[in-house]
């Protein structure tokens, strides 16, 4: 079939297998061009198929020759329907890893479940013995608690009072005002339940109890902190509360697995275009303005540059520099006062007419298309391609 993007609101409902492969290969090439990374050899990546998790897997494998075991939640293709992008990314990753003689296996299913944790543990015992790095990179709108069977939905809402702000509607391509109602306590609690640290702790507990955590294991979960422009809808909102809970979880993990010498960190990364961030109101506008400013300043970075930098300079370093909340910070350029001031100046005056001049929506949109394998110059999108792809 000939596959063209089918965009509905903030998501694209199909994906291009050849384009997804181009995206994975581009990231692999970047890592190889930067040189080797001192990263452990047996790496578990939870949320391995897109965004920051995929970049983590690529950096570990192609920067350090690591064996990678991945967990993700993706839809496989059929004769008539494409798979999700994460499925094709994983197929492309497996192909490239096998060609490079690198061990990789991926389990597809609900990472929040006990069953998935048990499957991963069996596979570690069978193939690797232990893991010495656990990367926790899930982004999900809901989670079923494995103990109670209750399903929780996360909410993207401000806390305390209604919040009116500018946003960019990516389907109508207009800048307009949006008013977001404040969260209830239930909204906050549910969001913490989904995106907070509980599941990360359950993973570490399960892995440790099964004896598959190597001594000196490093683990990280990813966060976004941001600044004033995004605080009302992110940092100080429901999702920010969930992210604060990661700090609590990191402290607990460090304390609980002292005998194993486990190091747990929350790593703060910069805002980038991923399937998760495009669903957050305000983010497409903020990211477009921020891209324009950071590209003009010559300091733009995407997922792979961020993760390569994190792995190479901070996560596996002896005594990495931590912030006041003991987090690793890869977002220090984005959050720098001069950069934020320039974004704020544009934010104050941006409207539908001047948006393409003040913001880099072209760059934002291209990154968005690339998430689904579209927009690559090397790919002929008029070609008939099979939607079928396997994880070799
Ligand atoms: P993403 O949507 O690209 O990736 C999410 C991953 O989680 C995918 O591999 C998906 O298959 C997997 N997943 C989702 N639900 C699952 C489930 N139930 N079981 C198994 N796998 C599941 O998201 P992303 O933007 O890369 O986010 C990853 C982490 O990075 C999140 O914690 C996010 O908050 C953080 N982060 C993102 C940004 C950003 O701008 N995108 C910035 C800083 C931090």
- In the reported structure, the alpha carbon of residue 142 is separated from the centroid of ligand 1 by a whole-number distance in angstroms of 12
For 183, the token pair is 């969260």
In short, whether 48's Cβ falls inside 6 Å of ligand 1 is yes
Distance of CA 386 to the CA centre of its chain: 28
Q: How many CB atoms lie within 10 A of CB 101?
A: 7
Which residue has the CA at smallest separation from atom 21 of ligand 1?
Answer: 72
**Strand, coil or helix: what is 130?**
coil
Determine contact, residues 66/42, Cβ cutoff 8 Å.
yes
Composition of the chain by helix, strand, coil, percent to 5: 40, 15, 40
In short, whether 71's Cβ falls inside 6 Å of ligand 1 is yes
Q: How many CB atoms lie within 10 A of CB 46?
A: 26
Please state, in angstroms and rounded to a whole number, the distance separating the CA atoms of residues 292 and 315. Answer: 29
Please state, in angstroms and rounded to a whole number, the distance separating the CA atoms of residues 222 and 160. Answer: 25
In short, whether 266's Cβ falls inside 6 Å of ligand 1 is no
In short, whether 72's Cβ falls inside 6 Å of ligand 1 is yes
Distance of CA 257 to the CA centre of its chain: 26
Please state, in angstroms and rounded to a whole number, the distance separating the CA atoms of residues 69 and 42. Answer: 8
CA separation, residue 15 to residues 94, 120, 301 (Å): 18, 27, 24
Which of 138, 268, 335 for mutating ligand 1's site (highest number of atoms within 8 Å of CB)? 138
Ranges of residues in the chain whose predicted pLDDT is under 70: none
CB-side neighbour CA atoms (13 Å) of 162: 5
Which of 49, 53, 283 for mutating ligand 1's site (highest number of atoms within 8 Å of CB)? 53
What's the chain's Rg over C-alpha atoms? 20
In short, whether 23's Cβ falls inside 6 Å of ligand 1 is no
In short, whether 55's Cβ falls inside 6 Å of ligand 1 is no
CB within 8 Å of 148: residues ≥ 6 apart: none
In short, whether 231's Cβ falls inside 6 Å of ligand 1 is no
Question: Tokens 């009116």 belong to which residue?
Answer: 164
Which of 27, 109, 220, 276 for mutating ligand 1's site (highest number of atoms within 8 Å of CB)? 276
Determine contact, residues 83/74, Cβ cutoff 8 Å.
yes
Determine contact, residues 69/124, Cβ cutoff 8 Å.
yes
Q: What is the DSSP letter of 292?
A: H
Q: Which of 78, 75, 39, 79 is nearest to 55 (CA)?
A: 39
Atom of ligand 1 at shortest distance to CA of 111? 19
Report pLDDT for 118.
98
Q: What is the DSSP letter of 380?
A: -
In short, whether 50's Cβ falls inside 6 Å of ligand 1 is yes
Which residue has the CA at smallest separation from atom 12 of ligand 1?
Answer: 47
In short, whether 139's Cβ falls inside 6 Å of ligand 1 is yes
**Strand, coil or helix: what is 135?**
strand
DSSP letters, 283-298, are HHHHHHHHHHHHHHTT
Atom of ligand 1 at shortest distance to CA of 275? 2
Report pLDDT for 276.
87
Report pLDDT for 171.
83
- In the reported structure, the alpha carbon of residue 113 is separated from the centroid of ligand 1 by a whole-number distance in angstroms of 17
Q: Which of 56, 90, 93, 59 is nearest to 72 (CA)?
A: 90
pTM: 0.98
**Strand, coil or helix: what is 95?**
helix
> So which residues are the catalytic ones?
234
In short, whether 223's Cβ falls inside 6 Å of ligand 1 is yes
The H or E element containing residue 267 is: strand 263-268
For 172, the token pair is 């109508």
Q: What is the DSSP letter of 154?
A: -
Which of 15, 44, 47, 291 for mutating ligand 1's site (highest number of atoms within 8 Å of CB)? 47
Contacts 24+ apart (CB under 8 A), 77-82: 77/17, 77/387, 77/388, 77/389, 78/387, 78/388, 79/387, 79/388, 80/1, 80/387, 81/14, 81/387, 82/3, 82/14, 82/15, 82/16, 82/17, 82/387
The H or E element containing residue 309 is: helix 303-309
Please state, in angstroms and rounded to a whole number, the distance separating the CA atoms of residues 373 and 23. Answer: 7
All domains in the chain, ordered by first residue: 7-141+154-159+185-279+300-331 (3.40.50.720)
- In the reported structure, the alpha carbon of residue 53 is separated from the centroid of ligand 1 by a whole-number distance in angstroms of 7
Determine contact, residues 342/289, Cβ cutoff 8 Å.
no
- In the reported structure, the alpha carbon of residue 152 is separated from the centroid of ligand 1 by a whole-number distance in angstroms of 17
Indicate the pairing of strand 263-268 with strand 328-329.
parallel
**Strand, coil or helix: what is 390?**
coil
Please state, in angstroms and rounded to a whole number, the distance separating the CA atoms of residues 139 and 246. Answer: 13
Q: Which of 121, 157, 136, 154 is nearest to 53 (CA)?
A: 136
In short, whether 120's Cβ falls inside 6 Å of ligand 1 is no
Report pLDDT for 9.
83
Distance of CA 318 to the CA centre of its chain: 25
- In the reported structure, the alpha carbon of residue 52 is separated from the centroid of ligand 1 by a whole-number distance in angstroms of 7
Report pLDDT for 172.
87
For 218, the token pair is 């490093």
């Amino acid at each position: 079939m000939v596959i063209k993007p089918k965009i509905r609101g903030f998501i694209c409902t199909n994906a291009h297998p050849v384009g997804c492969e181009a995206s994975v290969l581009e990231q692999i090439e970047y890592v190889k061009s930067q040189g080797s990374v001192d990263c452990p050899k047996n790496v578990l990546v939870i949320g391995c198929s897109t965004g920051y998790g995929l970049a983590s897997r690529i950096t570990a494998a192609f920067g350090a020759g690591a064996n990678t075991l991945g967990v993700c939640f993706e839809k496989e293709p059929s004769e008539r329907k494409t798979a999700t992008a994460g499925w094709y990314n994983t197929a492309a990753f497996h192909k490239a890893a096998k060609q490079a003689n690198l061990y990789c296996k991926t389990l597809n299913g609900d990472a929040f479940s006990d069953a998935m944790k048990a499957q991963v543990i069996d596979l570690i015992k069978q193939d690797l013995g232990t893991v010495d790095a656990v990367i926790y990179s899930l982004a999900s709108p809901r989670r079923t608690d494995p103990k109670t069977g209750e399903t929780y939905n996360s909410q993207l809402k401000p806390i305390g009072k209604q919040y009116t702000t500018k946003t960019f509607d990516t389907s109508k391509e207009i800048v307009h005002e949006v008013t977001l109602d404040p969260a209830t306590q239930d909204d906050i609690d549910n969001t913490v339940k989904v995106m907070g640290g509980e599941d990360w702790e359950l993973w570490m507990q399960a892995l440790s109890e099964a004896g598959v955590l190597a001594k000196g294991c490093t683990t990280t979960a990813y966060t976004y902190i941001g600044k004033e422009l995004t605080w009302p809808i992110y940092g100080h909102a429901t999702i920010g509360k969930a992210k604060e809970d990661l700090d609590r979880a990191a402290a607990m993990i460090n304390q609980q697995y002292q005998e194993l010498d486990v190091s747990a960190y929350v790593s703060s990364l910069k805002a980038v275009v991923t399937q998760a961030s495009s669903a957050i109101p305000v983010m497409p506008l903020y990211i477009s303005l921020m891209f324009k400013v950071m590209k003009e300043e010559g300091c733009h970075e995407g997922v792979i540059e961020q993760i390569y930098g994190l792995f190479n300079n901070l996560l596996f370093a002896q005594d990495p520099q931590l912030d006041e909340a003991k987090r690793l910070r890869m977002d220090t350029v984005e959050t720098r006062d001069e950069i934020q001031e320039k974004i704020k100046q544009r934010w104050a005056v941006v409207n539908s007419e001047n948006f393409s001049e003040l913001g880099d929506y072209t760059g934002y949109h291209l990154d968005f298309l690339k998430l689904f394998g579209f927009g690559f110059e090397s790919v002929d999108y008029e070609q008939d391609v099979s939607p079928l792809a396997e994880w070799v």
